[in-house]
């Protein structure tokens, strides 16, 4: 499966866990304890992998938003699903 990444400014936040991240200055190591790799310039941004929602995730979200046991196409499932995907990509909190 292809991967999708979002660009995150280090002014907004750093990664939450240890690893190597693609950044503005290359692929460098990050540690929550020690910060960005010693000897490298601090990056302006890093790339965060996004886990896209499954069809089941989207349907479950749509059901919980409307408070419905069964969710049918006449109740804006397309719009709710599109909003769910967009909010996931943008990193906004998704209810449900």
Flag whether 82 is in a domain.
yes
Looking at residue 89, its pLDDT comes to: 78
The sheet carrying 45-50 orders its strands as 4-9, 45-50, 19-23, 26-31, 35-36
User: From first to last of its 96 residues, what are the pLDDT tens digits of the chain?
Assistant: 467 889 999 999 999 999 999 998 999 999 999 999 988 888 999 999 888 777 777 777 767 766 666 655 555 666 777 777 778 777 776 655
Count Cβ atoms within 10 A of the Cβ of residue 23 and give its class: 0-12 exposed, 13-18 middle, 19 or more buried. Answer: buried
Looking at the fold, whether 46 and 13 belong to one and the same domain comes out as yes
The whole-model pTM stands at 0.62
Flag whether 36 is in a domain.
yes
Flag whether 27 is in a domain.
yes
Which domain covers residue 81, as residue numbers?
Answer: 55-90
Number of separate domains in the chain: 2
Looking at residue 9, its pLDDT comes to: 95
Flag whether 95 is in a domain.
no
Give yes or no for a contact between 45 and 12, defined as CB atoms under 8 angstroms apart: no
Looking at residue 81, its pLDDT comes to: 73
Looking at residue 71, its pLDDT comes to: 55
Looking at the fold, whether 8 and 43 belong to one and the same domain comes out as yes
């Amino acid at each position: 499966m292809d991967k999708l990444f979002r660009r995150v400014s280090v002014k907004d936040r750093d990664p939450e866990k240890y690893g190597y991240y693609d950044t503005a200055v290359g692929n460098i190591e990050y540690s929550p304890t020690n910060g960005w790799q010693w000897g490298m310039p601090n990056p302006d941004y890093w790339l965060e992998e996004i886990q896209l929602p499954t069809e089941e995730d989207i349907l479950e979200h749509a059901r919980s938003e409307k408070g419905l046991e069964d969710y049918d196409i006449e109740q804006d499932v397309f719009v709710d699903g599109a909003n769910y995907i967009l909010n996931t990509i943008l990193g906004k909190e998704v209810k449900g």
